[in-house]
Amino acid sequence: MTPLEETLHIALRKHTEKGILGSVVQNDVMPSLKEIQEVVDDWLEVEEAIVGGLVYGLVPDIVLGRIPDLPMEWVRADLETKSRFEKYRLLHKGIAFVEAKGIKESIHLYAEDPAACRVMLKGPTS
C-alpha cells in the first residue's frame, strides 16, 4: 500500500501547499517560524486524512485486485497502527469523507478547495 499512498501524497501536495499558503498569508502580520510550522503540521494532518481515505477506498480495486489473497486483517492492522500517531488523528474522518464523496469527487474537491476540505475534516475553528 505504501507506493500507492506515496504516489497520492505527491499528486495532492500542490493542493496542500495552496492551503498552507492561504493559511499563512491570511493575516497582515508575518507569522513566526513556530506558527508556520504549526500551519504546516495542521495541513499535513489534513493531507494524511485525504490520502488515507483514498488509499482505503482504493484497496479493494487496486491492491486486492493484484493480490487477491491479501488478508484484509493487514489493512485493518495498518489503520489501527496509524491511529496511534498524532499525524493520523483525522484518518477515520478522511475515510468517511472519501466514502461519502467518492474517490474522484474527493480528489476534485481537494484540488478545487483544500480549505473547504480542511473545514469538513477539522471543523471551522480548528
Distance CA 30, CA 24 (A): 8
Handedness of CA 9, 39, 77, 120 (dihedral sign): negative
Tens-digit pLDDT profile for residues 56-111? 998 877 777 788 888 878 878 888 898 899 999 999 999 999 999 999 999 999 99
Residue 1 in this model has a pLDDT that exceeds 80: no
Q: Whole-prediction pTM value?
A: 0.88
Distance CA 31, CA 102 (A): 36
